[in-house]
Structure 1
Amino acid sequence: MRLLIDARFTRMERHDGISRYGASLIAAVAEHTDVVMLIHDERQLALLPDVPYVKINSPLSPMELLVARRINNLRADVVFCPMQTMGTWGRKYGLILTLHDLIYYQNPQPPGFLPLPVRILWRLYHKAYWPQRVLLNRADVVATISQTTKSLINQYNLTRRPVQIVSNAPQPGQTRRDPEAAPEKSLLYMGSFMPYKNVEMLIRGMEGLPDYTLHLLSRITAERKAELEALIPAGGSVVFHNGVSDDEYQQLLRTTTALAILSRAEGYGLPVIEAMSVGTPVIAADIPIFREVGAEAAVYLDPDRPEDLAPAVHALAEPARWRELSMAGLARAGEYNWDVSAKQLLELAHQLKRGRES
């Protein structure tokens, strides 16, 4: 089988969630079968595995409308795209498109890195569900990363196509923290600062934790930083890192008391599994996707009650409770791995190929 995977959503310098998902999946699939990547800029190769690739147009280019003609010439049996926006006009191959989540229907603010015309179209696109249906119904199969999103796709009747899971997972080979070493009195937050991430509640919750420091790790604009700084309670300690390297992130994960994330919505919540994979306890908002990913291995809070953060953190000061959650998290994270995800994708691809040949 000739399998092509669209890697054109890979970032240039540092992965975001979809970029890391695609790159990790390519590396895992390449362990089982020959795979060819589609890229649009050779700088993307720095964040991609060493497998064959073909350079084509950017997914944001007007040429995307005709991209299937170019891919037809590559004689692919099946193409997997980690997004749902790939051009399909005139395609002659099996196609799996991916919908990660439905966050932006309730939270329509687009990612800031997109060009202004794309951000305008983004907002218009998320005013109704019918454009999503048009995109997804162009595929043969729709993939998604969680049962939570699969249920929402079915609830809103977003596609007539089969919907299957191709799971997300933490990076392999993470170094576990020493379970006997006392954690630092700190909390970590990894993620964007968009409104639905609810970072305001984390900051307000620090009022009851004067001995702890909240580390906000991601890049942030000066304007957004000023908004959040105004919310820091008297005596509260909050550090804005404005971006950290992968090594710095891992080091902070292995020393902190807990990772805290009180989002009102998520597509998956990769930091939850990243923390668990090194043995760091997780304090998360009580929303369906976090319950799915974390199961019984996390502490869940009402995202509208910042006053509940301090009691949850103070409970982790008890060494036995901290070790209990640490071990539960390690066990839960062990249930997610990229080899499983690769096999899920390959099974879908083989089924699709057989169906098109019959």
Structure 2
Amino acid sequence: MFPPTRVQVASRAVLKLFHLILVAFCLRSSRLPRWILWLRFLCWMCFFITIWAHSIIYGHKYDCNMDCLLRHMLTFFQTVSHAIIVVCNSLQGFRVLQNQMEEVIVFETSDPWVAFTVMAMILPICGVEYLVCSNAPKNSFRVRMYHLKTLPSHLALQMKIIFFILEVMEVNIRVRQAKHQLQILARELSSRWPQCKQRPEYFDQQTYRIKALKRRYNELYYLFDRINCCFGGSLLTIIIVFFALFVCNSYWLFVDVRTRPLRIYAVLLNLGFIFNVALQMSAACWHCQQSYNLGRQIGCLISKLVKPQGSKRYNDLVSEFSLQTLHQRFEVTAKDFFSLNLHLLSSMFAAVVTYLVILIQFMFAERNSKGNSG
């Protein structure tokens, strides 16, 4: 084994730091003592209960306009989603033995591309949070409290979706390796020289390679099944929250653009939230689409292994492999409610426009009612 390069060492350090962030936000099970797991769980539960109690008391004490109602809705969605993830991961950590974690693990690798993806997604998040903290005194009390209450949960949900993206990227790397091995085998079997390669005995000798690739495909399908089990519920809640965030921040961006004098800080802040949500959702859907496309490409390559000169046992094995790729597809779903792909992304953006128009109509109706009452 060669010693790791500086890039690999830096990549491993970045992934290790990201792993610690996930453990701190209770976003993945970890090999920690049971008392630490209980302490972390109780601290987060106390935080959620405090936020919910404050929101209920504040909601009964003051009259809220539409902006206030939207902030209360986002606070509820984000904290409840984070609480569900914390409870699920804590129960898994208490139930599963420390040496039998059933999670897909990516942080033992040192892939520079994976580490670069982490940095490329975390830096915009840090930039937006810097804008929030640096301009907090300029905001009203309601806006400051909204950012303060939702900051941990907002960061946690974004870290969870980045974690999901990394896992899909790591599995896609293995899928590409399997596809490359299948391409090599198909190229060798398609060669007509020497003539011995056209005999049935030669194809029978290659069945062990096809069986190995078939087992490799089954292992990859099992990895995608584990991803769906580990991330399915959290993906469902996160996508709902991100959809609400995208709609609300688009509405606030529309309001801030129309406000005179123009508040540059508010416009940049809303643009930052929209950019982060769009970037993370686009990356998740794009990598899941790549998984599906790679699986279909593997299925197309198997057709090249069919040889009329081969024996019945050889061709039956190839047909069985082809049927396996048809029934075991590399598809990531959110608890089978919907699949993550580029079609979902386009549908979400179309729905955002619809709900944005509805909010704008409510805004004008609210202003007209205030003008008539005045």
Tell me the TM-score normalized by structure 2: 0.21
Greater relative contact order, per chain length (Cα 8 Å cut-off, separation 6+):
2
